[in-house]
Every structure is written in C-alpha cells, then in structure tokens.
Chain A
Amino acid sequence: MALLDVRDLSVVFQRRGTRPVTAVDGVSFTVEPGQTVGLVGESGCGKSVTSLAIMGLLPRRGNTVAGEVLFENTDLLKLRPAELRDRRGRDIGMIFQDPLSSLNPVIPLGLQVAEVLERHQGRTRREALREARGLLDAVGIPDPERRLKEFPHQLSGGMRQRALIAIALACKPRLLIADEPTTALDVTIQAQILTLLKELVDNSGTALVMITHDLGVVAGLCDTVNVLYAGKVVERAGRHHLFAEPRHPYTDGLLQSVPRLDADRGGRLHQIRGSVSDNIPWSEGCAFAPRCDRVIDDCIGETVPLLGGALRCTNPVPKEVPV
C-alpha cells in the first residue's frame, strides 16, 4: 500500500476580478514507504503549490483544491484543521527553501525544536530540550548544547537548514517533503545537506518527496522522478530510465540544455524555444506544444492523456534501439 497517494490533485487560484489560474492541473503520483520521489520542473510548473496543497498550507480564501491526497488511506483534504494540525509535523515533516524565513527569528533554536516534541509527543519542556540537543547533534550541528539557546541569525545558512531538518525529523515522520532544500545554499554546503538527507532517510526509513528544479540533485537522490510542466505531470520514470532515455521532448530538451561539468567545453547548448509563459491551456492540447521541436498536428486540439501513467506526449522522442 502506498504511503502517500495523490489522486488528480488540482489547485485553482482565483482572485476577484481576475481569470482563474490553474496552478496544479490533475497531478497524481504515489510514494511508497521509504521511497524517494522527485518532483522536477521550472518555476511556475506547480511543484511548490503541489506540496503546499498536500500539507493543507494553502490559504483557504481564493483557492480551490480538488482531488484526493490519501496519506495511509486518510484523505488529508477532508480533515478538519485541528486534525490536520495533529498530523503536520508528526506524520509529515516539511523543509522549505529559505531556512531564515522558515525559522522564527525571536525564539531560540532549542525551543523551536522542542515545540514540535511538546506539541505532538506530550514531552515536558525539559525532556523536549534534552531530546532537541540530540537532534541537533544528529544533523551535524557543532556544539548543540550552546546552539539550543541561540537565535537563527547567529547561525550560517547551512546550519539553519540543518536545524530545519532537525525540526522536520523530530517526531520521526513517515513522510518528509523537501521543497528546494538546497537552492539557497552554496554547492559545498548543498553536498553536505544532500548527504545528510540521504543518510537520515536511509536510516529512518522515512519516505522523501524532493521538490527541485535541479536535475543534478534528482539524479543523485530520487528513486522515481515526476517531471512537471504547466501544472501537469508530463513524464514519470525511474531515475536511471529517465536520464538515460528521456521520452518527453521537454525532459529531453531540459537535459540537453544544462551545461554539464563532465562535458567538454564549448559548443552551443541545446535550447528550448520561448519561455515558460508561452503555453496553451491543457484543454486545448499540449501546453508545451508552442515550444516543442517535435510538435505535430495531433498535439493541438485535445488534452493529451498520460499514456501508461508515465508519458504525456503524442510524438515522443523515439527510444534508442541498442545496436
């Protein structure tokens, strides 16, 4: 049984006097216990909104969330706010991109970690603080005893992200959602955090949903990768499969347009035409069609289904036949 089963999730933003915007358009994916699943896409593809919708963190006003988010067979979208609060932080942890704005600047770090334990596991302040010390230690924060009394601004970016991971993992959640956890960090710090995440996930058996725009991060970490474009999953595959044989022209184009460290210098990069905003509504065909090199007449007209649950394209990149 899947740990998390997102079925046909849609999020529509509507403000008074404006046309509704469909940010997430029928996204479905599953996460098995202990699995690492990646959601990849460029800005505006709906990857962050998906994660916020799963956690029930979108403001109620002006947003319509439809579909089902089954976490261990309970639909999170149907829970009352109080029930959801009980689960957030206990069953599902979350790490955000910018650690400085996700930590409270006027509360010592120790209390922020301890708060989760007090709230969900009924620990006393003293017990919770002792446990918090161990958690900071586990995520590799030097001298945790002293760090407990310090404030977020006294730590570097990498240390703050570690603290955030400690908070997210405090109650040993079964699912961890990480939304661009390393985007604000330098590469050497990114390597530290990714290694830490990988170790923690492996050791605790926590499932991880990794949301990122960085294909390199996905390549090293995720079991299954979902590529999103304009609010829909356009391709889904195991990481080895996806990187060796991308079938969707968008995935293929994206992979070819990234300069690779291990490639020789020079040459022109493959480029995808236009920009993310050049798309047509999914109801009128493939949203990627205006930018696609492989566009054919069949691409325009009606919504392209997710073929075999893995590929949304009428004219995919042909499979390379091994010689």
Chain B
Amino acid sequence: MTEALVKIDNLKVHFPIKSGLLFDRTVGYVYAVDGVSLEIRKGETYGLVGESGCGKSTLGRGLLRLVEPTSGEITFDGTDVRSLEGERMRLFRRRMQMVFQDPMSSLDPRQSVQSMLVEGLKAHGLHTDRAGVQKRLRATLDSVGLPASALNRYPHEFSGGQRQRIGIARALVLGPELIVADEPVSALDVSIQAQVINLLGDLQESLGLTYLVIAHDLAVVRHISDTIGVMYLGSLVEEADGDQLYERPLHPYTRALLSAVPIPDPRVEDRRERILLAGDLPSPADPPSGCRFRTRCPWSQPRCTDERPELRVFDDSGQRVACHFAEQIQSGELTAHEVRAELVRPDSDRAPEVGAELIVTRTDLPAP
C-alpha cells in the first residue's frame, strides 16, 4: 500500500448566513462540509460523489484553501497546509491544481491559450527562460492532445471538449502532484466525455498524478476511481474501493444512489430493484439531528434521531460506513419501511416540515 499524499482530518467548512441592513448579523451557518476525514494515496484517484448541495465541491475547494476551512486539518505530503500563510501558501499551490467544470466560464475569453498557460508560470517565477517556456507549453499541449498552433488562439475558437483540454493543460503546466477535478466531464457531450476521461487516465499513467475527482455521475466516478467516497449533506457516509462499493453498498443512501443511476441496457433496466427516495435533500443550513439521512431513509430507527453515526471501518476490506444499522440492513434483519417525504424549501432556514398525504419511499419497484 502506498503512502497517503493527502490527509484530511475532520475538515469543516461553514458559511455564515448574514442578515441585517446596517450591521452584518450572523443568523446561522450553512454546514457545507461538516467533519470529513479521508486519505488520498499517491498515484490513485479518489472519487467523491454526491448530489448537488452535498458539499463535495466545497470540500475540494477547502482542500486547496480556495475557501478557508472553519476547522480541521489538511496534510499534503507531510506539510500542514492550513498553517501556511500568504506567500508560502501561494507557492505551495504549484503542487496542487484544479480543473473546473464549465470550460466556457473557467477560461478567460479575452486571453489567448498561451497567455493563460504562461500566467501560471509567471506566478511561480518559471517564465524567465523563454526557449524553455515555449518547449514546456508545447509539451503540455501535446500531452493533452492539442496542436501547438492552439497557443495563439482564443477559447471561443475551440469546441467544448477542446476547451476542457485547455483547462487540463492549464492545471498541468506547473507540474502539480495533485489535481482536483470538479465535475470535469459533466458539461460535455457523451462522445466527448469518453475522450476526456481517457485523457485523464493517460496523464495519470504517464505523469503519476494523484486525482481527487468530484462528480455527481456515479458511473463516471466508478470508471475512473480507485476509492470512492459518497457524501450526503456535508459528511462522508460511505467510503470503499470502487468495485466493493458497487458489489456491496452498505449505507442506505449509497444503495438508493446506485439503484437510481440509469444503465444503458434495457435488459438490466427491466430487472433492476429500485429504491426510490422520498423528498429532497434537507437544507444544509438546518440539517436534521442525528443521522443526516434519517429523514429520507427507509430503514431509519429511533436511535438515528438522537445519535449521529460516525464513519467507522466496517470490516477487513477497509470499507467505511456511517450508519448505526449497516450490519442489520446488510443481513436483512432490519426491513425497509415507508417514508413520508418532508417538504424542503430551497430558500428557508427553518426546519423541514412534514406534509400530509405524501410521496412514499418504496423499495422493490416491480419490473414493468
């Protein structure tokens, strides 16, 4: 087993909710990331999945300190990242870079590709040797499959897939060890997605990169990740090796998520057991007490309300799960019950209310 490149320990990122005309009063917090611990080993791909609003992007940004974490520890190759100040932090960023989701808005439309790539080199004082810079730019573009003639062109001259390649080149040009890719393919067409996924794989192989891939598409994450972490409402609910997670999902949320992903094969689709979750994600400004998932969980018990389950190692396989009843659900001792959907307001800070005649979480949808 290789050593961990990144260690995150009990990371929290809370955003204050401000109110008031004259004075900013803090009236509450959005608990975007609320106590996440994980390790990313050198040369591996860690995939972080979850639905929108679960805090996966904030975690990635918090790791690079693009947003300042509220508390917790981040260790990168033995260095305590959170203790780095100002200039030292800026220089440290050379070792960890980010690829963003939308290649249209993450590239400056008025900057040529050359100027975009050189900007990073300048920031780190690597631009003095002209011939060397040119060589480096060409090599980087070549590695992402773009011609050297791209240097003098502007983002609008490229297609979506090519723009994402530019985004990857921009991250690569500094020779980082860790790349945080936030939804790297979700803005792309299906046939282009495969190209970018393959490119990320090739680069990892040739450059020994470590990836943190953040995505909502479980199929994509499963394809490229060694380890997968599933997030729900600011915390990690399950973590396992990719195949293990698919073969034996332990957390009820993971089960529901896996069963909800459509598979492009009608024979599989017709036979699948589907766990339909009731309702929506609760507001991260006012998460439910105890287990965050209990409001939508078909296996929830009284204990789930009182006690927040810790992420614990389940068995020898190293699979980690945050559920009090993982064993009982696994063995079938605990059976699913109906769940009434709680109405979630997108803009309210109040607790979710329980409605009357409601949608019901069902398991075992009969095949049509």
Interface residues of A (CB under 8 A from B): 42-43, 137, 140, 142-143, 153-159, 186-192, 194-195, 198, 202, 213-220, 239-240, 243-244, 253-255, 257-266, 268-272, 275-277
Assess the B358–A218 pair: CB atoms within 8 A: no
**CB neighbours of B222 from chain A (8 A):** 259, 261, 265
Assess the B260–A188 pair: CB atoms within 8 A: yes
Contact of A269 among B159, B216, B223, B280 (CB under 8 A): B223
Task: Quote the shortest CB–CB distance from A150 to chain B (angstroms).
Answer: 9
Task: Quote the shortest CB–CB distance from A132 to chain B (angstroms).
Answer: 15
Closest partner residue, chain B, to A220 (CB atom): B269
Say whether, besides A143-B356, A154-B346, A190-B260, A243 and B191 are in contact (CB < 8 Å).
no
Q: Does B277 contact A (CB under 8 A)?
A: yes
> Can you give 25 contacting A-B residue pairs, CB < 8 Å?
A156-B344, A157-B346, A159-B343, A187-B51, A189-B51, A191-B259, A213-B190, A216-B261, A217-B262, A218-B264, A219-B263, A244-B266, A255-B264, A258-B193, A259-B194, A259-B197, A259-B219, A260-B264, A262-B268, A265-B222, A266-B223, A269-B197, A270-B194, A275-B162, A275-B189
Assess the B190–A254 pair: CB atoms within 8 A: yes
Assess the A142–B266 pair: CB atoms within 8 A: no
Assess the A263–B223 pair: CB atoms within 8 A: yes
Task: Quote the shortest CB–CB distance from B263 to chain A (angstroms).
Answer: 6
Assess the B190–A258 pair: CB atoms within 8 A: yes
Assess the B358–A275 pair: CB atoms within 8 A: no
Interface size on B, residues (CB 8 A): 63
Assess the A259–B191 pair: CB atoms within 8 A: no
Task: Quote the shortest CB–CB distance from A184 to chain B (angstroms).
Answer: 10
Closest partner residue, chain B, to A253 (CB atom): B191
Say whether, besides A187-B261, A269-B223, A257 and B194 are in contact (CB < 8 Å).
yes
**CB neighbours of B195 from chain A (8 A):** 271-272
Contact of B220 among A195, A219, A259 (CB under 8 A): A259
Closest partner residue, chain A, to B195 (CB atom): A271
Instruction: Write out, one digit per residue, whether chain B residues 160-198 have a CB within 8 A of any chain A CB (1) or not (0).
Output: 111000000000000000000000000001111111011
Task: Quote the shortest CB–CB distance from B54 to chain A (angstroms).
Answer: 9
Within 8 A of A (CB), among B351-365: 355-359, 365
Say whether, besides A156-B344, A258-B190, A260-B219, A275 and B161 are in contact (CB < 8 Å).
yes
Q: How far is the CA of A191 from the CA of B272 in the complex (A)?
A: 12
Q: Does B80 contact A (CB under 8 A)?
A: no
Q: How far is the CA of A219 from the CA of B276 in the complex (A)?
A: 18
**CB neighbours of A202 from chain B (8 A):** 368
**CB neighbours of A190 from chain B (8 A):** 260, 262
Say whether, besides A258-B219, A261-B263, A195 and B274 are in contact (CB < 8 Å).
yes
Assess the B264–A215 pair: CB atoms within 8 A: yes
Q: How far is the CA of A261 from the CA of B272 in the complex (A)?
A: 13
Q: How far is the CA of A100 from the CA of B329 in the complex (A)?
A: 38
Contact of B276 among A159, A195, A271 (CB under 8 A): A195
**CB neighbours of B198 from chain A (8 A):** 268-269, 271
Assess the A268–B201 pair: CB atoms within 8 A: yes
Say whether, besides A257-B193, A271-B198, A186 and B216 are in contact (CB < 8 Å).
yes
Q: How far is the CA of A270 from the CA of B257 in the complex (A)?
A: 26
Task: Quote the shortest CB–CB distance from B41 to chain A (angstroms).
Answer: 16
Q: Does B246 contact A (CB under 8 A)?
A: yes
Q: How far is the CA of A159 from the CA of B225 in the complex (A)?
A: 33
Closest partner residue, chain A, to B280 (CB atom): A156
**CB neighbours of B189 from chain A (8 A):** 42-43, 213, 275-276
20 new A-B contacts at CB < 8 Å, known A154-B345, A219-B268, A257-B191? A140-B341, A142-B343, A154-B347, A155-B345, A156-B344, A187-B51, A187-B257, A188-B257, A190-B260, A191-B259, A191-B274, A195-B274, A216-B269, A219-B266, A243-B267, A260-B265, A261-B219, A271-B191, A276-B159, A276-B192
Assess the A254–B191 pair: CB atoms within 8 A: yes
Say whether, besides A142-B341, A187-B218, A261 and B261 are in contact (CB < 8 Å).
yes
**CB neighbours of B261 from chain A (8 A):** 187, 216, 261
Q: How far is the CA of A155 from the CA of B193 in the complex (A)?
A: 32
Assess the A192–B277 pair: CB atoms within 8 A: yes
**CB neighbours of A213 from chain B (8 A):** 189-190
Q: How far is the CA of A213 from the CA of B193 in the complex (A)?
A: 13
Tell which of A188, A189, A220, A244 has the most Cβ of chain B within 10 Å.
Answer: A188
Assess the A264–B262 pair: CB atoms within 8 A: no
**CB neighbours of A265 from chain B (8 A):** 222-226, 242-243
Closest partner residue, chain B, to A154 (CB atom): B345
User: 9 closest A-B pairs (Cβ-Cβ)?
Assistant: A216-B262, A142-B355, A259-B223, A257-B194, A191-B260, A215-B264, A220-B269, A186-B51, A143-B355
**CB neighbours of A137 from chain B (8 A):** 357
**CB neighbours of A271 from chain B (8 A):** 191, 194-195, 198
Assess the A189–B263 pair: CB atoms within 8 A: no
Assess the B159–A277 pair: CB atoms within 8 A: yes
Tell which of A187, A240, A244, A277 has the most Cβ of chain B within 10 Å.
Answer: A187
Closest partner residue, chain A, to B341 (CB atom): A142
**CB neighbours of A219 from chain B (8 A):** 262-266, 268-269
Assess the B357–A264 pair: CB atoms within 8 A: no
Q: Does B52 contact A (CB under 8 A)?
A: yes
Task: Quote the shortest CB–CB distance from B28 to chain A (angstroms).
Answer: 19
Contact of B246 among A43, A158, A258, A261 (CB under 8 A): A261
Instruction: Write out, one digit per residue, whether chain B residues 248-262 have a CB within 8 A of any chain A CB (1) or not (0).
Output: 000000001111111
Closest partner residue, chain B, to A139 (CB atom): B359
Q: How far is the CA of A153 from the CA of B348 in the complex (A)?
A: 11
